[in-house]
C-alpha cells in the first residue's frame, strides 16, 4: 500500500484548467413536467493508496480524536469526494441559491471535503471546535482571504468567490492537515459522491450532455450521456466513470 504525500502543482493546474473549460452543446432547458435523471458511480481502478494516520499532537484538542488523511478516500473501489456535474456553459442561466453552502470545522477537519456551489452563492465556514482555527482561501496561488476564527466565533461568510469552473481551496495554517475544496458551477446540476461513490443529477431536460467528474487528487474525467424524456428514475441515464489509482505516492494537492 502506498502512503499519500504531495502531488505536482503542474498536474493540479492542468486538472483545474480542464475543469474550467466549456462545451459546444446547446444550453439545456429544464422540463418540470418530465424531469430526467443521470445516475452513476465513480470507481477507482487499481490499488488505492493507504490513508495516512495524521499526527495531530500539535493541538491537544485535535489530538483527542484520531483521524486519517482525507486526500483520497476509497471504499470497495468507490471514490468519495468527487464532484460530478454537467459541463459549464451548457445548462443555461441560473441564479445562485439564497441559502449558503456550509463547511464545518469539526474535530479539526473540514466537512465536507469537497463542496459544490453555484457562482454567486454564499459560503459559510463554521468553527464547531473548542480550539482556534485560521481559514485561508486560495484560488490557485492567489490568497483570497486569510482570517482567524477562534472557538465560538461567528461563521466566516464569503460570496462571489470565483467564476464557474474555478476551484477555491481551503486550508488552516494552524492545523496543516486540514483541507477542503469549493468547486464553482454556473448551474445547479451537480453532486458530490459519498462513500458509495454514487451521484445523481436531477431536473435536466432531455438531450445529450457532457458529464465532468473532478477530484482534487485524481483530476478530471469526462463522458457523454444521452438522457430521454420520462418519469424520474424510470429512464435514468446510467454513467460509470473510472479513475486510475495514482502511479506514485505523490498525491496530496498543493495548497
* Tally of CB atoms within 10 A around 173: 12
Q: What is the pTM of this model?
A: 0.83
Residue 2 inside a domain? The answer is: no
Residue 3 inside a domain? The answer is: no
Residue 102 inside a domain? The answer is: yes
CATH of the domain at 63: 2.60.40.420
Q: Is 230 helix (H, G, I), strand (E, B) or coil?
A: coil
Is-cis flag, bond preceding 112, omega within 30?
yes
Question: What strands lie across the sheet with 207-215, from one edge to the other?
Answer: 190-192, 83-86, 207-215, 219-227
Residue 4 inside a domain? The answer is: no
pLDDT at res. 33: 45
Residue 100 inside a domain? The answer is: yes
pLDDT at res. 83: 98
pLDDT at res. 247: 79
Does residue 214 surpass a pLDDT of 90? Answer: yes
Residue 254 inside a domain? The answer is: no
Q: Which of 52, 36, 65 is nearest to 2 (CA)?
A: 52
- Domain residues for the domain of 32 are 9-244
Residue 168 inside a domain? The answer is: yes
Per residue in 166-177, pLDDT (tens digit) is 999 999 999 999
Residue 187 inside a domain? The answer is: yes
Per residue in 10-37, pLDDT (tens digit) is 334 444 444 444 433 434 444 444 466 8
How far is the C-alpha of 160 from the C-alpha of 119, rounded, in Å? Answer: 7
Nearby residues of 250 by Cβ (< 8 Å), 6 or more positions away: 5, 6, 7, 8
Please tell me the total count of domains within the chain. Answer: 1
Amino acid at each position: 500500500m502506498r502512503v499519500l504525500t504531495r502531488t505536482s502543482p503542474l498536474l493540479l493546474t492542468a486538472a483545474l484548467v480542464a475543469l474550467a473549460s466549456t462545451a459546444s452543446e446547446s444550453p439545456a432547458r429544464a422540463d418540470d413536467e418530465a424531469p430526467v435523471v443521470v445516475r452513476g458511480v465513480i470507481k477507482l481502478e487499481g490499488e488505492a493508496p493507504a490513508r495516512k494516520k495524521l499526527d495531530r499532537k500539535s493541538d491537544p484538542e485535535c489530538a483527542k480524536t484520531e483521524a486519517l488523511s482525507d486526500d483520497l478516500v476509497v471504499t470497495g473501489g468507490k471514490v468519495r469526494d468527487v464532484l460530478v456535474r454537467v459541463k459549464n456553459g451548457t445548462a443555461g442561466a441560473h441564479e445562485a441559491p439564497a441559502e449558503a453552502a456550509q463547511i464545518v470545522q469539526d474535530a479539526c477537519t473540514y466537512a465536507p471535503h469537497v463542496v459544490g456551489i453555484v457562482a454567486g452563492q454564499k459560503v459559510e465556514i463554521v468553527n464547531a471546535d473548542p480550539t482556534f482555527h485560521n481559514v485561508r482561501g486560495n484560488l490557485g496561488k492567489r490568497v483570497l482571504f486569510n482570517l482567524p476564527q477562534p472557538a465560538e466565533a461567528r461563521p466566516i461568510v464569503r460570496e462571489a468567490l470565483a467564476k464557474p469552473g474555478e476551484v477555491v481551496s481551503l486550508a488552516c495554517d494552524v492545523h496543516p492537515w486540514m483541507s477542503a475544496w469549493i468547486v464553482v458551477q454556473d448551474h445547479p446540476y451537480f453532486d458530490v459522491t459519498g462513500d458509495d461513490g454514487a451521484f445523481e443529477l436531477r431536473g435536466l431536460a432531455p438531450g445529450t450532455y457532457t458529464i465532468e467528474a473532478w477530484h482534487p487528487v485524481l483530476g478530471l474525467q469526462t463522458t457523454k450521456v444521452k438522457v430521454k424524456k420520462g418519469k424520474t428514475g424510470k429512464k435514468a441515464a446510467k454513467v460509470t466513470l473510472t479513475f486510475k489509482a495514482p502511479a506514485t505516492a505523490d498525491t496530496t494537492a498543493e495548497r
